[in-house]
Amino acid sequence: MKTINGLQADPEIRKHYQFWIFAYPTGNPILYSAMRLREELAKADQLYPNHKPYVVVGHSMGGMLTHDQVVTVNQAMWEKALGPVANNIFKDNSRNSLIVRSTTFRANPRIKRVVFICTPHRGSDLASNPIGKIGISLITLPARLTAVMFDSLTGADLAQITGSSKRLPNSITGLKPTSPALPVINSVPIGIPYHSIIGDRGKGNSPNSTDGVVAYWSSHLNGAQSECIVPGPHGSCQLPQTIAELDRILRLHVGIGTTSKPAVTVAQTTR
């Protein structure tokens, strides 16, 4: 809300943009949450067929959901990455099943620009350390989702995906740098303008920096229209520097001038 309020202080932003928020449970598998966002945007398109194109801003894991809206991923890509495991999953599940709908999707043509804030595109080491293990143990998935995944995945599939034949994928297993989904998603070029805002905890030592949760090596994306390093932690979405950079990007998108200098180079989770 602080970020949105800061942006709405600009009368040109109020004139040209309406802010929508997508909230989702932190613990659910990332690709499942991305599917839910995809479905909600499709509902919005049906309700408001003449709306202007989207600019999507994603913070943290929300940036990963955003990334999944602007790339196309198909069955062949999973088969290349996972081999027999992917073959079995797609053979045993229909096209309309939850697992296939979560893992195969097309870029949304109504999204014309995205901004990633402190986004772990390549995962976070925290997900693999003792803190991550505690987080995994605390997550309880919805009963319906649990039943569907157990019906869709064999023990061998789970062992390949999560490292355990009895552990279902959740958001923290999806954040491990070793998650098989990350290289699949990151192998696809983003076909629209995209921007990165990356926290540095004020130490000023990028590219060796971190926001305390996500390291620069994970947040950085080649080909970004701009990359802005802000002196703050993982919650840097609320910093004045972040709000100023978002203001610049949103003005740029609708062709409005700004006094802000270009940078060198929001969906948010509920807890």
By residue count, the chain amounts to 271
Per-residue pLDDT of 104-152, as tens digits, reads 999 999 999 999 999 999 988 765 444 444 344 444 555 555 655 555 5
pLDDT for the residue numbered 133: 47
Q: Which domains does the chain have, with CATH numbers?
A: 2-253 (3.40.50.1820)
CA 111 to chain centre: 14
Element (H, E) at 82: helix 75-82
Which of 35-39, 97-101, 127-131, 261-265 tops mean pLDDT? 35-39
Of 105 and 176, more confident: 105
Which of 28-37, 118-127, 171-180 is predicted least confidently? 171-180
pTM of the predicted protein model: 0.83
Q: What is the pLDDT of residue 97?
A: 81
> Measured between alpha carbons, how far is 68 from 62 in angstroms, rounded to an integer?
10
Are 160 and 180 in contact by the 8 Å Cβ rule? The answer is yes
Interval 89-109: pLDDT, tens: 888 888 888 888 888 999 999
| Three-class SS of 107-158 | CCCCEEEEEEECCCCCCCHHHHCHHHHHHHHHCCCCHHHHHHHHHHCCHHHH
How far is it, in rounded angstroms, from Cα 209 to Cα 229?
A: 10
pLDDT for the residue 209? 86
Pairing between strand 226-230 and 54-59? unpaired
Residue 11, phi then psi, degrees to nearest 5: -60, -30
